[in-house]
Amino acid sequence: MPELPEVETIRRGLDKFVIHQKIQNTTILCDKSFHGTPTSAIITGIRRFGKALIIDLDNQKSLMIHLRMTGQLIFDPKDKAARFAAGHPSENFVDTLPNKQTRVIIELENGTLYFNDQRKFGFIKVLDTKDLRDDPFIKKLAPEPWQMDETVFYEKLQKHKNSPIKAVILDQTVIAGLGNIYADEALFMSKIHPKTKAGTLTKKESANLLKMAAHAMDLSIESGGSTLRDYKKADGTRGDYLDKFAQVFNKQGKPCPICKTPIQKIRVAGRGTHICPHCQTLRPASEIVSMCPAGHEDLARAARSVPEGHAETTSDAKEKGTTND
């Protein structure tokens, strides 16, 4: 599934191809992939909410597009210029379209936009623009790192105080946009072990984590996305974040850019996770006890029950579902 920087890169790429173009016809080849009634109108803008693209129309309607795991948006211009493709890379990028993976065809004045989706998890949904923010998918999204207030972020972490911090920041109702890649990178830049209990972070650590999350995604957007096996930009080329800027993600066995300790791959909250075991250490139980804020006595009790130097045990138990959240 593309992460937020990849979707933002797609938004920027498609913007110059479809803005001010009229939708002349919509052909639905898979009912599961299109929700609502097709509409004919002029495209006035492209926005993004988390990982969802929003195409606004001049008839007070909007199209919400989510690529999910294998979705693609492929634009063929009428003037026979180069094809523009975005999303899960496959032969569809150079294949004759429509083909057996084409789910929706949107004919514009200047070309045709194909929505392809091999596994049929993605969708296009027609909404009244005024009701967009009330859609269940969008309504549950928290603010993105650039929009999130530091105090609000800290308070959200306290609501999940017994959970590993990585699991918490992957929750789109806590903070929107962070996926596996950027969670690992933000935690590394913040020198926070992914299994650290969210409730033990100080306000300063929480604020820095929020800052690093925004920074990691800014770098990725500037470089055109991460490109890990199944993502390409709107012009068909690959983003290069993982090559240029990623410091730990998918770097297992390679030296940490700070201390040269080999990067390790572990599992946290069921996800492959990349860390530097030297730069990102779990706090000893005694330190957790001394740092626990008022009202978090349960964290202190949990820490005291773990032998000194084995604070990771409680996080491991949480990952296995044997501690309370």
Q: What is the mean pLDDT of the chain?
A: 84
Q: Name the pLDDT band for 320 (thresholds 50, 70, 90).
A: very low
| Residue-wise burial string across 74-102, b where 16 or more C-beta atoms lie within 10 A, e elsewhere | bbbeeeeeebbbbbbbbebbeeebbeebb
pTM equals: 0.72
Residue keyed to tokens 């989510």: 66
Whether 55 and 139 have beta carbons less than 8 Å apart is answered as: no
DSSP output for 222-255 = HHT----SS-B-TTSPPP-HHHHT-SSTT-TTSB
Kindly state the average pLDDT of the residues 33-57.
96
Q: Is 87 helix (H, G, I), strand (E, B) or coil?
A: strand
Q: What is the pLDDT of residue 323?
A: 35
Lowest average pLDDT, out of 8-22, 170-184, 213-227, 297-311, goes to: 297-311
Residue 160 predicted with pLDDT over 60: yes
Residue keyed to tokens 């709107």: 234
Helices (H), 142-296: 150-158, 165-169, 180-189, 203-223, 241-244, 285-291
The tokens describing 278, both together, are: 């030297």
Q: Name the pLDDT band for 294 (thresholds 50, 70, 90).
A: low
Whether 181 and 245 have beta carbons less than 8 Å apart is answered as: no
Domains of the chain, first to last: 4-139 (3.20.190.10), 150-319 (1.10.8.50)
Q: Name the pLDDT band for 50 (thresholds 50, 70, 90).
A: confident
Q: Name the pLDDT band for 235 (thresholds 50, 70, 90).
A: low
Task: List all residues 6 or more positions away from 112 whose beta carbon is below 8 Å from its beta carbon.
Answer: 75, 76, 78, 97, 105, 106
Q: Which amino acids are annotated catalytic?
A: 2-3, 51, 271
Residue 238 predicted with pLDDT over 70: no
Query: Of 11-15, 81-85, 196-200, which one has max mean pLDDT?
Result: 196-200
For the chain, the first-to-last Cα distance in angstroms comes to 27
Residue-wise pLDDT tens digits, 242-268: 566 789 998 999 999 999 999 999 999
Q: Name the pLDDT band for 288 (thresholds 50, 70, 90).
A: low
